[in-house]
Amino acid sequence: MASLDTVLLREITVAALLIFLITRYFIRFPIRKSSRPLPPGPKGFPIIGALPLLGAMPHVTLAKMAKKYGPVMYLKMGTCDMVVASTPDAARAFLKTLDLNFSNRPPNAGATHLAYDAQDMVFADYGPRWKLLRKISNLHMLGGKALYDWSNVRNIELGHMLRAICESSQRNEPVVVPEMLTYAMANMIGQVILSRRVFVTKGTESNEFKDMVVELMTSAGFFNIGDFIPSIAWLDLQGIERGMKKLHNRFDVLLTKMIEEHTASTNEREGKPDFLDIVMANRENSDGERLTITNIKALLLNLFTAGTDTSSSTIEWALAEMLKSPSIMKGAQQEMDQVIGRNRRLEESDIEKLPYLKAICKETFRKHPSTPLNLPRVSTEACVVNGYYIPRGTRLSVNIWAVGRDPDVWKDPLNFDPERFLSDEKYAKMDPRGNDFELIPFGAGRRICAGTRMGIVLVEYILGTLVHSFEWKLPDGDDQDQLNMDETFGLALQKAVPLSALLRPRLAPSAYAS
């Protein structure tokens, strides 16, 4: 009898909560009757709106919806308004014409629980602190001159990676591509920020870091019910926030240790300041904005996670596409053999002489953008787009994945065809740095990814080096036609099955010595 009473009490409680939420919803959000039409979109359900319609692959679902409802689409997401742009023209309207109005981020669990309550550069409000973080990062790590100054670090770390691959080749062991890339990139970034390699050897510690980065990118990409129905956020119905808090604690321990060890070794860097030295010395700007240790931890979290995962996933997708189409791999190797030969490694200065390699990178940015849905923005004021009314406080999502597959822009968009960037004048002029809205893998406008320039350099240099330095084939028994190309949704678009391949050196032995 007692258990029956418990079940009855639980059902009454749930029913009462639903009645409360429905009543609260219609009091706060009465049915709109406005002469200013919202963009078209799916009706969704009471209270939860369109949330259940998105499924496990929201970027794909939203692209399909856009074919029905149009390039500017409205969805009621819980108690929040959301608008989705799915074509180059729609993206341009929001990220260029109305860029300032959409320069802030909406509050969400990822910003709160992962990014130190939006104390970082990615989620911070558009204002003095964000500008200071962005300025320091561009001047001393992510901008053109800084990238040139740190080019030797990339060269040295890539040398470590090549020699490790050669050792695996001698043992006839397959290489797990994302693990290899994360290990190398984390060490590149560690050298720039902390003057040291983050991982001395590839093993349990570096694999755990890779898992932490993937978990962060995945959980931060979830459509969390509590973000869209704040009144029930405390319930954490999907368990997302609990996972974020645990992950945040693990990252905080790692970042705290990095900063403490760095502070203890200050004398060793006399006259050779690294990025963290510069940040600590420039914690205040002319407006009186001062960075706290929390801001600095949050910034390091941005640089280590986004700097490793987005570029490594792009390179992994490019290699997978080339393994499925060996003629593309062969064409890239022939171009590099003609320009570089086989007696030395590729150098960054060679890249401008390698148009086919650059075309492969552009095609990967188009078909497999590292961020399929841009990080959400929110409107500061009401506005009008394409004749449709966009209320104040509306969340904006640009479907970068759909933009890159728009059949009105791209011929045979599902094909991986680097030649399009060489043979078609319209495509040849396109650049992925945010000015050509047909190709915006890093976003555009004021909140374009701060690491755009670095991301392009890393992808071109590392991908080119791997293709030039090794012959690639799938492990014995794996058929290139059966290579799994499924996606896993998150902030970064991961391969569902990590790429594994057998590599064999194709250059003179001396090329791997430096």
Q: Report the binding-site residues for heme.
A: 449
Q: Which amino acid is at 389?
A: Y
Dist. CA 386–CA 396, nearest whole Å: 15
| Cα-Cα-Cα-Cα dihedral sign, residues 77, 55, 121, 317 | negative
Binding residues: 449
What stretches of 408-499 adopt beta strand conformation (E)? 470-473, 487-488, 494-495
- Name the token pair of 184: 């190398």
Number of helices and strands in the chain (H, E):
19, 11
- Give CA separation, 255 vs 70, 141, 209, 244, 275, in Å: 44, 18, 12, 16, 14
Dist. CA 101–CA 379, nearest whole Å: 5
Q: Which amino acid is at 431?
A: D
Dist. CA 46–CA 43, nearest whole Å: 9
b/e code 15-28 from CB counts within 10 Å (16+ = b): eeeeeebeeebeee
Dist. CA 465–CA 447, nearest whole Å: 31
- Name the token pair of 84: 């989705």
Torsion of CA 488, 436, 84, 399, to 10 degrees: -10
Dist. CA 421–CA 359, nearest whole Å: 6
Dist. CA 118–CA 295, nearest whole Å: 9
Dist. CA 238–CA 416, nearest whole Å: 36
Residue 162: CB atoms within 10 A of its CB come to 23
Residue with tokens 């964000």: 130
b/e code 48-67 from CB counts within 10 Å (16+ = b): bbbbebbeebbbbbbbebbe
